[in-house]
Structure 1
Amino acid sequence: MGIVLNQSFKNTLILVLGFTIGGINALFLYTHFLKEEYYGLVIFLLSTANILLPLVAFGMQHSVVKYFSSYKTKLERDSLLSWSLILPMLIIIPIGFIGVFTYETISSWISAKNSMIKDYTYIIFLCAIFMGYFEVFYSWTKVQMNSVFGNFIKEIFARVGATLLLFCLYMKLIDPKQFIYGITIVYFLRMLIMKLYAYSIYLPKFTFNRPNNFKEILRYSMYLILAGSAATLLLEIDKFMIPQFEGLSDVAYYSVGIFIASVVAIPSRAMQQITSPITAKDLNENNIEKVEVLYKQSSINLLIVGGILFLLINLNITEMYEIINRPQYSVGVWIVLMISFSELFKLALGTNGAILTNSKFYKVFFYFSLGMALSVVVLNHILIRKIGINGAALATLITILIFNTIKILYVKRKFNIQPFSSKTIVLLILIFLLYIGFFYVDFPFHPLINIILKCILVSIVYFSAVLKLSISNDFNNQIELLFTKKK
């Protein structure tokens, strides 16, 4: 668990910094420097590009993680990495040709409700390519147990680029249209930097020789294309569907709420960069005992960190919107609660997703993802019509609660392992009691002072209880080590 905690800690710091920069962008710069319609347009374009990402990457970012550690020679590994660059082109080139001849039809369809989208439709495909190859090159470094720099580029670079472009917009050096083109260039540069770094870590000898298990890789990649597309639909389809029923400004309001709630996911995003290749390695060696240990440790540790983030966000959400000082955005209060709770539940699963995608049962991940995607699309279609953007959040919450519970039961049945213990119940009770106990606590000061005071109080009570109750040995050991170093 040492390398996991070490790189997870560094990745967490990067993610916190990234979310801080992203928070400044999303909550203040975008909301004050860019009109709501254009803000919603940027979110729509990038979200739709994310939906296409698994397809244009051909699932190779997952195949590299799964199979790289199973090869024993450099020749085999070079062959895998070479084909991780070739196979996406077999999707990108045909789609590009089709897109050229059907552009008018596609752009008219997705811009039926909001005509602003039409002129920028092609940007979706370009960003999807840049995002897809970024993930492929990032996977090259992850299998070398080197996830920190890639995580830095992924979480920091694009957000800093957006910050600079927003200030250029504020100073009238560029207009909103040029801002959108600038964002596209930022994603291209991010991919290029990741490529150069991946080559510096491990430079393969490019070859057209296929790996011995090429057919297996193709099958795995095809399933992961479908599973990844379905999983991405779950994350991004709401921001695609909202403009089909509501205005682009509603996408902006919804996205601010989603961004605030997604802070809860920081621990998982930090840890999975290193736990996924470790889980793949343990499964390749059929070491289920190690898989179970990591499964349980990741679950409780993620839940501890996610729990405090959930509390700090939802107990201060009213003050946060007051600081944003854009009353129209405050419609997202319920969105924050529903999405942050769904993220907390996902944290409790630990390495469940890594176990499914890297085991011989990886095909079932597709069926789970497909079921989740279909459910969230149907629920979005019904609930957005009935209760607007709150319906999109509710659709996500319902889908995650049902299907992730099924995933836990499935892993239990196939591997006879599950992530929970009695400490999990104790921790959930603690989170619930603190939420109820501090919900009505308010201070008669400036919203920022209120947030600081409540964060300090809640954190002291929460972490004192976690340590006293010995919820996690890993957590207690890390705290003890921290204080020992200071002495």
Structure 2
Amino acid sequence: MKSSNEQKQVFWFTLINYLGILIGIGSTIFIYPNDKEFLGMVRYVDAIAQLMFPILLFGAGQSLIYFYPLVNEENQKKLFKYAIKSILVISVSLALLLILGNYIVVLENYHFVFYAFPLALIIALIELFKRQAINLQKLSVPTLLEKIIPKISFPIIFLMFLAGYLNVIDGLKLFIASYFIIIVLLALYVFKYYKVNSDFNFKSLFTQIDKKEYYRYSFYAFLGSFGSFLAFRLDVLMIPEFLSFEANGTYSIGVALVSVIGIPALGLFSIYAPMISEHLKNNAINELGKKYIETAKLLFFVGAILYGAIVLGIDSLFMLLPTYDKLVETIPVIMILGANVLFNMGTGFSSEIISYSKYYRVNIMLLFVLVFLNIFLNLYVLTQTDYGIEGVAWASLIAMVLFNTIKLYFIQKKFKILPFDKGYLKLFWIVFVVGLGLYFLPKTQNSLIDLILKSGLFCVLNVFIVYKFKLIYSLNYWIEKVLRMK
């Protein structure tokens, strides 16, 4: 990452996300364990919204990135407006189907879809405006709005619920309202830098790009997004149906605490999306391969540092908290899902390479292989075993390892590039040996000292050794920049 602008974007994206995560962690360990059932209900509604929003977006976000470099400035604006129009048209159709379904479908929890639908519409618009912000290289403020507002609003709603000022329905309504605030502020921000007119004639747009190709790509992008939910978020829908909302709340706490590991990947993948698309269109595979290795090493290192610190210190951290008894049952879920996130980060932007290449259909096929594995494994552990939410976590890990391995094989066959080199191998052994040594370090009688000794020392030693060996460009770049400021 030698571009100064890219460095700044990644830095601010990561900083804002971690600020949101820190707020979220505080809420997760101090507030949410006090009513796991309510937490499970909110996460259930959110999961339904996440299932709906790819339908409403129908690939418009990825199409905006994919076709943006191919059209002139006037048609770039029309491409953005056409995406907004598509979302609104599809929303009306889906709303009518949901109302009709209310008279046909007999499900105990069906009424939750009417809270999820407006949330899904708002999330779809947020995603689209974020994609436009990426094209403008203005990702920091949208990230701030999206990551910080829910992290502040939901704990407030939760505390009001615990205090008896809100019932479940009022809590859900306020949760949705917080997202409405995000889209209003996000739209104002994007339109400040990107002026669009009221011309909704799209004839010139589809003379510059083929309309069939636009819809074809959008359809496959939709399948990818929809498949991603089924692959990565389906467990949050299945747990309440087979176990309970309380179990869903416990699992959600684990997911929330593990999410700290994957934040850098979100920033890099978002910022690098236009670059990946451009390199593939220009057939600059060698340059893409270098970025592939560089980002994979960076993401593996950051992920391994965070995961290692969690593995070594999570029990000591929870021992310091008054909610220990309610949090301890999440530890196995955190360990397993953390490994899942780390493995995904360590393989770099594999999905993005396939998605923005001529082989984008393959990504859909692979996603649905993952969906099949995830559904099959989840159904098995939920109906045939007593493993509960720990079994769900193992199912996700197994499916993810197989999924990423197949992607790596495909990319190596088609592009002759992999996200690994000798430096990556050295990096792996450094992290592993340091972690193993500290794992067997004897415990003291003080949980705080154990936390500092094991997790703190793990982070410091790894950063120092990797910096000295110059294995990661970005790490040396920022450390040397800080040292020069002194």
Into which bin does the TM-score normalised by the smaller protein fall? Answer: over 0.9
Q: 1:203 to 1:284 in 2, by over 3 A?
A: farther
TM-score between the two structures when normalised by the length of structure 1: 0.93
Q: 1:46 to 1:401 in 2, by over 3 A?
A: same
- Is contact 1:352-1:411 (8 Å) kept? yes
For residue 81 of structure 2, what is the amino acid of its counterpart? S
Matched, 1:137 2:129: yes
Cα displacement (A) at 1:381: 0.4
CA distance in 1, matches of 2:248, 2:442: 30
Matched, 1:28 2:30: yes
- Is contact 1:53-1:128 (8 Å) kept? yes
CA distance in 1, matches of 2:446, 2:70: 57
Residue aligning to 1:6 = 8
For residue 362 of structure 1, what is the amino acid of its counterpart? Y
CA distance in 2, matches of 1:79, 1:468: 50
Count of residues paired in the alignment? 476
Which residue among 215, 236, 239 is the counterpart of 1:239? 236
For residue 327 of structure 1, what is the amino acid of its counterpart? D
**Greater shift after overlay, 252-261 or 209-218?**
209-218
Residue aligning to 2:464 = 464
Matched, 1:179 2:171: yes
Residue aligning to 2:269 = 272
CA distance in 2, matches of 1:285, 1:207: 31
Q: Secondary structure at the match of 2:276?
A: helix
Residue aligning to 1:152 = 144
Cα displacement (A) at 1:13: 0.5
CA distance in 2, matches of 1:217, 1:328: 50
Matched, 1:293 2:258: no
1:71-470 mapped onto 2 (5 Å cutoff): 71=71, 73-106=72-105, 108-109=106-107, 111=108, 117-205=109-197, 206-210=199-203, 211-212=205-206, 213=209, 214-322=211-319, 323=321, 325-385=323-383, 386=385, 387-441=387-441, 443-470=443-470
Q: Secondary structure at the match of 2:166?
A: coil
Cα displacement (A) at 1:324: 5.6
- Is contact 1:319-1:450 (8 Å) kept? yes
CA distance in 2, matches of 1:75, 1:469: 49
Residue aligning to 1:56 = 56
**Could you report, residue by residue, the CA deviation over 1:322-346 in whole angstroms, capped at 9, with x for unpaired residues?**
3262424422222111111111111
- Is contact 2:439-2:454 (8 Å) kept? no
Cα displacement (A) at 1:18: 0.8
CA distance in 2, matches of 1:43, 1:410: 35
**Could you report, residue by residue, the CA deviation over 1:54-94 in whole angstroms, capped at 9, with x for unpaired residues?**
111111111111111222x2221122111111122332211
Matched, 1:483 2:483: yes
**Greater shift after overlay, 164-173 or 375-384?**
164-173
CA distance in 2, matches of 1:412, 1:6: 31
CA distance in 2, matches of 1:202, 1:276: 20
Residue aligning to 1:68 = 68
Cα displacement (A) at 1:395: 0.9
Moved over 6 A (4+): none
Q: Secondary structure at the match of 1:146?
A: coil
**Greater shift after overlay, 84-93 or 379-388?**
84-93
CA distance in 2, matches of 1:467, 1:278: 27
For residue 183 of structure 2, what is the amino acid of its counterpart? M
CA distance in 2, matches of 1:222, 1:471: 40
Q: Unaligned 5+ residue runs, structure 2?
A: none
**Greater shift after overlay, 74-83 or 436-445?**
436-445
For residue 238 of structure 1, what is the amino acid of its counterpart? D
Cα displacement (A) at 1:128: 0.9
Q: Unaligned 5+ residue runs, structure 1?
A: 112-116
TM-score between the two structures when normalised by the length of structure 2: 0.93
Cα displacement (A) at 1:433: 2.0
Cα displacement (A) at 1:284: 2.7
Cα displacement (A) at 1:481: 2.0
Cα displacement (A) at 1:351: 2.0
CA distance in 2, matches of 1:237, 1:442: 40
For residue 22 of structure 2, what is the amino acid of its counterpart? T
CA distance in 1, matches of 2:119, 2:425: 42
